[in-house]
Structure 1
Amino acid sequence: MSFSVRLTVRSYEIDTQGHVNGAVYHQYADHARAECLRAAGVSLRDLLATGVGPVTLENTVRYHHELRAGDTVDVTCDFVWGDGKTSRVVQRFLRPDGTLVAEVTGTGGLLDLQERRLVSDPGEHWRALAAHPEVLNL
């Protein structure tokens, strides 16, 4: 299942070339992931109460087309789970007509807040907290 949130580019997010500043793509991706977790029924407060917290280990942005002030973009979230301590989130930035603007691929995990180590099965923690785990592809 692919989750999506629609955003409108604000004028203060524009760089000197007239398109969205590169750092803003990370902010859009973060916002979409937070909304995806909310749609899944996951409370960050409840997650932290279990003694773990989310960590980002790597993000990669691939740009395809410009976004300018006033443009509308849909940001998707697709969680990809494996057998290890990390998971990936693939996010696509799409114009309403379906044109691919950018892709953000992130690798993350859940950090045991006392041991300061990644937990062995992050998907299980998310699944236990999610009212709608299918939104997280669980």
Structure 2
Amino acid sequence: MAEPFSVQVTVRGYETDVQGHLHQSVYLQYAEHARWSVLQRAGIRQADLLAKDVGPVALETTIRYQRELLAGEETEVTCSFKWSEGKTFRIEQVIRKTDGTVAAEVTGVGGLMDLKERRLVADPGGYLRGLAADPQLLGL
């Protein structure tokens, strides 16, 4: 099995809380950054989705914090999609320090919404496969 897609992110000082740890909400931003990065690398830009009147939606997100991150630390944020037959898909992400220590695991359930109908697209994987230049990056 191929390694999941990943991006590098440096923890910035203004992203930390009063204890000097990465603020809890920023983990979600790092995960979101990795998701948009893999879509873009696969050949799907946000503008492409909007032009088709569709957009990804988060339906559920769970964060398991394991180790703190501090300002200046380098991280790797992974992103892999798990497709099913239905209207939703799973997203599995890991935020790691450069020494391999897992700082957090982010899992979620998402969908692809038809922005005019305000309903989930029946086959989000198939839809994105049709738009992607490199669908393998999305696990398709």
Do these two structures clear the TM 0.5 threshold for a shared fold by scoring above it? yes
Aligned residue for 1:5? 7
- Counterpart position of 2:137: 135
Identify the residue that residue 20 of structure 2 maps to in structure 1.
18
Give percent identity, aligned residues only: 57
Superposed, 1:1-138 pairs within 5 Å as 1=2, 2-138=4-140
Q: CA deviation at 1:48?
A: 2.0
TM-score (norm 1): 0.96
Give SS of 2:19's match. coil
Shift of the alpha carbon at 1:91? 0.4
- Once the two structures are TM-superposed, the CA of residue 51 in structure 1 deviates from its matched residue by 2.5
Task: For structure 2, list consecutive stretches of 5 or more residues without a partner in the other structure.
Answer: none
In the superposition, the TM-score normalised over structure 2's length comes to: 0.95
Of residues 121-130 and 38-47 in structure 1, the stretch that sits farther from structure 2 once superposed is: 38-47
* RMSD across aligned positions (CA): 0.9
Question: What is the alpha-carbon distance in structure 2 between the residues aligned to residue 111 and residue 28 of structure 1?
Answer: 22
